[in-house]
Amino acid sequence: MPYATDATPDDGPAPRESGTQALDRALSVLLAFRGTETERKVSDVSRELGLHKSTASRLFRALADAGFLQRNEENGNYRLGVAVFELGARYLAGLDLHTLARPLVHRLAEEEGESVNLSVLEGLDAISIHVVQGTRNLQLVSRLGRRIPLWCSAAGKALLIDQDDAALRATLATAPFTALTANTITDLDTFVSRMATVRQQGWALNDQESEEGLRVVAAPVRDRHGRVTAAISVSGPIFRVDGDRMAELAAAACRTADELSRQLGYGFGEAWGD
């Protein structure tokens, strides 16, 4: 987010900052790399964040020294450094969900020929933590770490499947319901009404709600406590995912999600002492 104290990022000396402010700004610089660009210019990020250019330069150098950024010596731009990968790898290694899901989602993609995602809930988004491309022609593949709003995502709906109407309204009270396509649900009442069908059938559909020409089905994954902890989704172009094929993919997603849930301990409450 912009910082008012650095309103003129390129003029005069950089203002002094506290340790907490410096940390906040360093984190903001790292988060500026969440987009699709693999490299960023210091000047672009400083303008984007409202930082004094010398402040931004100092933060970039410090992050590079710590391994979180890497400088391209040919053009002076920066990319994410190996320390970010190491932290991410440690996060995934400690996540049993990700370890157990890997062979299952790969098998699903191979058997059905369509792209498969494993997603988790973060705020008002479903975020992809594992992506496998299908084997058929014309694949519309999500990228790792991509966020899709809950109200226009099959995975998002699956992640919300256990919430009743009141809980849904509370969860999405601040959701902007921005339209990404002509099919996007743009109001809370309609979304709550549609979720009744999702709960009844046990799986969710994204029918060109986040991207034109794309249909996605998703099923919830539960942990040993019975809580929905992730969603497995299968996506494909609308000319291939229609009618019976959509039902087939939904059934396959549900079978895979159920198998992963069992591996996470779902259904074995007594054995876990729950």
Question: Model confidence over 105-118: pLDDT tens digits?
Answer: 999 999 999 999 99
Report how far residue 89's alpha carbon sits from residue 125's, in angstroms, rounded to the nearest whole number.
22
pLDDT of 186 = 96
Rg of the chain over Cα atoms, rounded to whole angstroms, equals 22
- 82, 123, 206 from 178: Cα distances, Å: 35, 15, 15
pLDDT band at 138 (very low <50, low <70, confident <90, very high): low
Residue 214 in this model has a pLDDT that exceeds 60: yes
Tell me the percentage of the chain whose pLDDT exceeds 70: 86
Question: Model confidence over 35-58: pLDDT tens digits?
Answer: 778 899 999 999 999 998 999 999
Tell me the percentage of the chain whose pLDDT exceeds 90: 73
Sequence-separated (6 or more) residues with CB below 8 Å from residue 81: 63, 64, 66, 67, 68, 69, 70
Lowest mean pLDDT among 133-147, 171-185, 196-210, 232-246: 133-147
What's this model's pTM, rounded to 2 decimal places? Answer: 0.72
| Cα atoms found within 13 Å of the Cα of residue 77, Cβ hemisphere only | 10
Is the four-CA dihedral 244, 208, 182, 196 of positive or negative sign?
A: positive
- Which position has the higher pLDDT, 89 or 247? 247
Domains of the chain: 19-93 (1.10.10.10), 95-271 (3.30.450.40)
Residue 9 in this model has a pLDDT that exceeds 50: no
Report how far residue 146's alpha carbon sits from residue 148's, in angstroms, rounded to the nearest whole number.
7
